Amino acid sequence: MACIETMERERIVENARRIGDDVLRPGLKELATRHRIIGDVRGRGVFFALELVSDRTTKEPLAPYGGSSAAMNEILAACREERLLIFNNFNRLHVVPPCTVTDEEARDGLARLDRALAVADKYYVGS
Per-residue pLDDT tens digits for 69-126: 899 999 999 999 999 998 999 999 999 999 999 999 999 999 999 999 999 888 888 7
Delimit the domains of the chain by residue range. 2-123
pLDDT at 6 over 90: no
What is the pTM for the complete model shown? Answer: 0.89
Q: Would you place residue 68 in the very low, low, confident or very high pLDDT band (cuts 50, 70, 90)?
A: confident
Q: Of 6, 28, 23, nearest to 113 (Cα)?
A: 28
Per-residue pLDDT tens digits for 13-40: 999 999 999 999 999 999 999 999 999 9
pLDDT at residue 19, as a whole number: 97
The CATH number assigned to the domain with range 2-123 reads: 3.90.1150.10
pLDDT at residue 84, as a whole number: 95
